[in-house]
A and B are shown apart, each in its own frame.
Chain A
Amino acid sequence: NAGVMQNPRHLVRRRGQEARLRCSPMKGHSHVYWYRQLPEEGLKFMVYLQKENIIDESGMPKERFSAEFPKEGPSILRIQQVVRGDSAAYFCASSPLRTDTEAFFGQGTRLTVV
């Protein structure tokens, strides 16, 4: 049973480009959470999704950021027109059907905007 898989592990984008970050949850997990970690800081919640539904996006910036978790395939965090301030590590976590269980983290995607 593979863990939470994120790709790419490292992503470099020029200012103004789009970044797509992928997260495949653990087998049997239908809840996905995205967190952002700025350098030297803790993780900040961004969005919580279930299959085909956004449950809580209160941590998402209002513009340029979107997330989806389709019926088939990985969850995608999309950042349009990236800026230097978007440079961070983005972590995905998944949990099973019951939400009162521990979520497991992926290895993260480190986005660098140049």
Chain B
Amino acid sequence: ELKVEQNPLFLSMQEGKNYTIYCNYSTTSDRLYWYRQDPGKSLESLFVLLSNGAVKQEGRLMASLDTKARLSTLHITAAVHDLSATYFCAVVISGSRLTFGEGTQLTVNP
């Protein structure tokens, strides 16, 4: 059974600081996704990572994938309050069925 673990589960950081969220998964996967969810809202797709060594960046967020280590990271650079949300990684074994991590609840304090 595929397991996806994120850490930390809760992250409180100050504006301007950097931090990394980690996502480990237990089985070889086709694809890995990062999503953002604001309270009471749906999921917003941030990144799709398809191959070993893939790196994608959008604004202050950068995601990478190491398929050999079964590890993805989401790096936050110079955090701002608007980044406060819950971030999920999700892994696909086949088709489009997603297995989600528990989520990392990020709070960026002024």
Contact across chains for A103 and B98 when beta carbons are under 8 A apart: yes
For the complex, what is the distance from the CA of A33 to the CA of B92, rounded to whole Å?
13
What is A's interface to B at a CB cutoff of 8 Å? 31, 33, 35, 41-45, 48, 56, 91, 93, 95, 99-108, 110
Residues of B within 8 A of A35 (CB): 98, 100
A-B contact count (CB 8 A): 53
Q: Is the CB of B95 within 8 A of A99?
A: yes
Query: Do B98 and A41 touch across chains, with their CB atoms under 8 A apart?
Result: no
Across-interface contacts of B30 in A (CB, < 8 A): 100
Of all chain A residues, which has the CB nearest B41? Answer: A107
Given that A100-B30, A102-B33 are contacting pairs, would A48 and B95 also be in contact in the complex, using a CB cutoff of 8 Å?
Answer: yes
User: Are A105 and B42 CB-contacts (below 8 A) given A43-B88, A100-B30?
Assistant: yes
Tell me the bound Cα distance from A41 to B96 in angstroms.
Answer: 21
Select which of B33, B94, B101 is within 8 A of A42 by beta carbon: B101
Q: Which residues of B contact A48 (CB under 8 A)?
A: 95, 97
Contacts known (A102-B48, A105-B43); A56 close to B103, Cβ less than 8 A: no
Pick from B88, B94, B96: contact of A102, CB under 8 Å = B96
Contact A91 B102, CB 8 Å, known A99-B96, A100-B30, A103-B96 = no
The residue in chain A whose Cβ has the minimal distance to the Cβ of B4 is A42
Chain B stretch 43-61: residues in CB contact (< 8 A) with chain A: 43, 45, 48
B99 on the interface (CB 8 Å rule)? yes
- Nearest 4 Cβ contacts at the A-B interface: A99-B95, A42-B100, A95-B96, A103-B96
Question: How far, in angstroms, from A38 to B105 measured CA to CA in the complex?
Answer: 15
B contact residues around A95 at 8 Å (CB): 96
Q: Is the CB of A45 within 8 A of B97?
A: yes
Contact across chains for B96 and A33 when beta carbons are under 8 A apart: yes
Complex Cα–Cα for A114 and B43 (A): 26
Closest Cβ of chain B to A21, distance in Å, is 14
Our pick among B33, B41, B100 for the contact of A44 (Cβ within 8 Å) is B100
